[in-house]
Structure 1
Amino acid sequence: MAVKEGLRAWKRIFWWLILLTVGFSGLLLYGVPTVRHLEVFIPMGTCPLARMSLLRDNFTDLHLWARPEVLTCTSWGAPIIWDGTFDPDVAQQEAKQQNLTIGLTVFAVGRYLEKYLARFLESAEQYFMVGQRVVYYVFTERPDAVPRPPLGPGRQLRVERVLRERRWQDVSMARMRTLHAALAGRLGREAHFVFCMDVDQHFSGAFGPETLADSVAQMHAWHYHWPRRLLPYERDARSAAALAPDEGDFYYHAALFGGKVEALRRLTAHCTRGQQQDRLRGLEARWHDESHLNKYFWLHKPAKVLSPEFCWSPEIGPRAEIRHPRLLWAPKEYAVVRG
């Protein structure tokens, strides 16, 4: 009898732990502010000193040991770039010596154009690849409405017309197909490296050549502390974007990714194929092109990962490890811009 009672007690404790875990996860996933502050206590891990000494970068000197409180390298040997882990002056000099042209693409369709594009471009002129040759590519259905801010020496603005999609989800998913075509055309011929960014954000700090690599992924600001099983990957096994519960490294943000032209051609081709496969099956990935982007970076590891400092949401609030945000999300006014 005592054994049975003991087993019942352990079962009750077990199920209470399960319920508490599920409840905490639900609160975390749905963004309850008081609970979100607790995620800073979830450890990120640290980079072993032996691995730090082996990491190299083509554009800057790495000082990964300068940020012992955060993870500064990946398991496959790519650096995670945080403020203080690189030398911006070395990166500037190296990029100039290589005589690079850097492309920056942005989609401004519908009301996103009026609400966000001017500030995005103006802040890019202030902070994005200052002193380097830059070509901005704006994709929009209304070329005549694109603002024309004053540009510095060696910087150009090109406007490419795209069709207005019926749903905002289709705008998001058509982006990969459009980028793939552009990278095979003038953009691919003009630029050595390209960054692809969302328009509903603005630059707030220096975003320089220290971010360049063959392929670059952005650690998502809302999910960088979360354990892998809570990350919002596509879980429907029928989808081309699906990841199993034991798959995935980090959750990457589609608001910022980049790399060399050929590497981006492979990425956009993969995402376009995956979306087409899903469409034929009557499926749509949970987070659209971002889901397919995460699948690609699981299969083909990025050469460099940018910390959440490089694309930060002010709604999260202050974090000790976020010293100098480089891009800031604008408030999400979906009822206005998607209406």
Structure 2
Amino acid sequence: MILKERRTDVNSVTNWNVPLVWEGTFDPVVIDAIYKRMDPRVAVIVFAIGKYTQFIKAFLKSGEKYFLVDFRVTYYIFTDHKENVPQVKLGRSRNISVITVPSAKRWQEVVFGRMKWATIAIETQIVNEADYVFMMDIDSVFHNRFGAESLSRLSAVLHRIYYKNTHRDSFLYERRPESTAHIPAGKGDYYYTAAVWGGYVEDMYKLVKQCYTQAEEDSKNNIEAAWQEESHLNKYLLHNKPAKVLSPEYLWSDYDAVQADIKVVRISQLVKDYAKVRPN
């Protein structure tokens, strides 16, 4: 990373010696310039199933203002109501691709379905159209710059609730040995959110395919991981370390007060009435 200034209030390196990215640990002008010379194509995968289509417009409009501005970006919107995808003015070299997927009766089906449909879309379409892929939650809004400092082979985001916690046994890992997402007590690095993560298209494909395969295996054995895809994501990243870890700046929540060490909120999950937007 290109250092702008040194933060002394946070840890900016992981224990496997890769960057832990915070505001104040990189120079945004320099790092964007480096990546722009490479001219990468970036895919953003979001799912807007059922009533979640109401969040598309704000996500896209804020993304156009703050997400990898002046880079080539395609938003891949997976939805069961393509007629509800709004028209949003996009910048140069910015596009939308709508992919139709089935409706769901349970919100857990939507969550697990993300790994399945992302696997299929990457191997059949996105692999030919992107160099990097991000998976994001549609019920989120960008508030500040989300730039090239987020790009790497694999980038994972620290969960806002657990990022200060050093006691691994308090993380919400899947602890049942019967599940393929099982992480034994005393093991683990960090607890990562499944609401934002990304990486090279090839590495993201390996990740989503393995998580999908493991979830299918669990289903055959009549078990569902404690936190669905997030449990499988954390298991994968324990054994396939991210090349960058992003601070909770890269996924906060409007439900929570901003902590003193969060100098900027780059993207935040919206407050919502789950009873009104989820299928169950």
Same fold (TM over 0.5): yes
SS of residue in 2 equivalent to 1:316: coil
> In the alignment, which residue of structure 2 is the partner of 1:233?
173
> In the alignment, which residue of structure 1 is the partner of 2:85?
146
1:292 matched to 2:254: no
1-structure distance, mates of 2:179, 2:3:
38
2-structure distance, mates of 1:264, 1:318:
30
Specify every segment of 5 or more residues in structure 2 that has no aligned partner in the other structure, as ranges: none
**In the TM superposition, what is the alpha-carbon distance from 1:185 to its structure 2 partner?**
2.2
Specify every segment of 5 or more residues in structure 1 that has no aligned partner in the other structure, as ranges: 1-56
2-structure distance, mates of 1:182, 1:158:
11
1:75 is aligned, of 1, 10, 15, to: 15
2-structure distance, mates of 1:181, 1:288:
19
Q: How does 1:52-67 map to 2 (within 5 A)?
A: 57=1, 61-63=2-4, 66-67=6-7
**In the TM superposition, what is the alpha-carbon distance from 1:286 to its structure 2 partner?**
0.7
1:219 is aligned, of 136, 143, 158, to: 158
1:169 is aligned, of 105, 108, 119, to: 108
1-structure distance, mates of 2:191, 2:178:
20
2-structure distance, mates of 1:314, 1:80:
23
1:133 matched to 2:109: no
Kept in 1: contact 2:255–2:270 (CA 8 A): no
Q: Which structure carries more strand by proportion?
A: 2
1:249 matched to 2:189: yes
Q: How does 1:87-98 map to 2 (within 5 A)?
A: 87-98=27-38
Which of structure 1's runs of 4+ aligned residues deviate more than 6 A?
Answer: none
Kept in 2: contact 1:222–1:316 (CA 8 A): no
Larger radius of gyration: 1
> In the alignment, which residue of structure 2 is the partner of 1:304?
244
Task: Give the total of aligned pairs.
Answer: 278
2-structure distance, mates of 1:315, 1:99:
36
Letter of the aligned partner of 1:142 in structure 2?
Answer: H
**In the TM superposition, what is the alpha-carbon distance from 1:117 to its structure 2 partner?**
1.1
1-structure distance, mates of 2:249, 2:258:
11
1:113 is aligned, of 29, 49, 53, to: 53
SS of residue in 1 equivalent to 2:265: coil
Higher relative contact order (CA 8 A, sep 6+): 2
2-structure distance, mates of 1:104, 1:68:
33
Q: Residue by residue, what CA displacement relative to the aligned partner does 1:30-54 show, whole Å, maximum 9, x if unpaired?
A: xxxxxxxxxxxxxxxxxxxxxxxxx
Kept in 2: contact 1:234–1:287 (CA 8 A): yes
Normalising by structure 1, what TM-score?
0.80
Normalising by structure 2, what TM-score?
0.97
> In the alignment, which residue of structure 1 is the partner of 2:61?
122
**In the TM superposition, what is the alpha-carbon distance from 1:101 to its structure 2 partner?**
1.0
**In the TM superposition, what is the alpha-carbon distance from 1:318 to its structure 2 partner?**
2.8
**In the TM superposition, what is the alpha-carbon distance from 1:94 to its structure 2 partner?**
1.4
Alpha-carbon RMSD? 1.1
Kept in 2: contact 1:95–1:132 (CA 8 A): no
